[in-house]
Structure 1
Amino acid sequence: MANIGNAVSVRNDRVAVILSVAAAALIAINLVIFVLFTQPANAATRNWTVQPENWQALRVQWGYSHAVNAAVTFLAFCCALLASTK
């Protein structure tokens, strides 16, 4: 929501608006990745207290989802930072 608020506050600067909206979209993508990949692995392993047969595949899925989310979050941060300094 802060990124959308920033987009409204800098509405006269086209580049800053685009960067703010991009930051908001990246945060939304972060949530989608969590719901589609991270949470299912957490649920299947009961937050890593149970070891199902496919736990190794779940561990890889969980690890990659966290790595991708870290990159997406970093990009969102960079967009927000650039939008705020324009």
Structure 2
Amino acid sequence: YDIELTKRQGDIASRRKTMVSTGDRSAKIRTYNYPQGRITDHRINYTVYNLSAFMDGDIQDVINQLIVSENAERMKEAEI
């Protein structure tokens, strides 16, 4: 059991490592569109339509969506 668990954790860690960005411009995390007043987080495909509030620090909605996305990913990995 321990060997399988260690192997599985190693596989997950290597998959996560390949997901780390290279810093390339094409690998954007967020787009801030000032004329339209919106922000899009490309990691979770989530858009906020209140740019001014976000820039003033009202970011809890995005944080909540990131947490939901992370939890869903972990649950999906646990099923494998």
* Structure with a larger share of its residues in strand: 2
Question: Quick check: TM above 0.5?
Answer: no
Q: Report TM bin, short chain.
A: 0.3 to 0.5
* Structure with a larger share of its residues in helix: 1
> TM-score, normalising length from structure 1?
0.33
Task: Tell me which of the two structures has the higher relative contact order, counting C-alpha pairs closer than 8 angstroms and 6 or more residues apart.
Answer: 1
